[in-house]
Structure 1
């Protein structure tokens, strides 16, 4: 059953407003990106429908869309499975992330106001508390929120949209290495906030590039350890 192996409370409650197929898609995507539904997991329509409290039709539509978006693999005569990314896929994604996030950091240093910097400080403190409490999922969520705020402060809507698409996939990979990185990402975030507050565009760019590269290297190290 779907409930086996899922942490208590991970199955999201679907709020009624909005198209049902969109809400089912977002619910399943959240379960995948947080790895509540891990790579390789067999996704059975009837079980998903039961746990989300919907019919099988919106689940089927969501799985088809997730397949198109690269989150799910539909295999003939076998069914749907959470996509298992190759190391090459991960490397390509994390490389693109570095390019986008570094530019977002530069623009944030040029454009951020006091309120934005204060919000970065708040999110950083939230992440530090999560790490101190060994709450890996909360730390991953705080990290995603921190990077989303940097993108917002950049003030470039196109960059923000592209980075958000990449960022959701990065969260999937980050969930697998967050425990290994420990407190280090948050000290790097602190340095980045200082650079943004000082309007030092060059340093903000350099720090973000190094920060994202650390995540990429850690992911590859983890893959090789498990081979």
Structure 2
């Protein structure tokens, strides 16, 4: 059984959804990032960047336990383990990987900054809000055009880890300043993915435990000096 160390965030939900889609047995260990549990030595031993999610698979590729952090790496590992959601043909594989990297390098970081400056920043800085809101809209436009071309999913006609990686980040579209009316093809894709039973189960993992970050202590843990202490 895979041990999953996670929280109900977009990056956490990527792996929750993948585990549900693959039907792999897993045990959830909630890492409350508002309370600073990501800095515990036991968690840092498997996720040295103090970020969720992370997994420990007792049945690794060589029969020995393996621990992994970084959600994209975990998706690739689980796809390799199960032979699912990553095309076997070379062209399809790299088309999927380019959209996975698009999420890891663009969608996640940029939409994360949009969330921060629109919602969490102690000062509302118009330049930062405009910069990241505009970048969010640009990225939505890229994805909208891609789905209009494929007619189905990010990397083509099949549902892949690229879709699994991108979908959780778009669930907070309102917080990113997005109007779905501007992106009809992408909205149709979003609805297709959201309707999948495994996706619906995945986004419920730990959802009942996550609460909005309201206190100054929680914000300090997430965005303040606690992030930058050497450990």
TM-score normalised by structure 2 residue count: 0.25
Larger relative contact order (CA 8 Å, sep ≥ 6): 2
Q: Report which of the two has the higher share of helix.
A: 1
Q: Radius of gyration: which is bigger?
A: 1
TM-score normalised by structure 1 residue count: 0.25
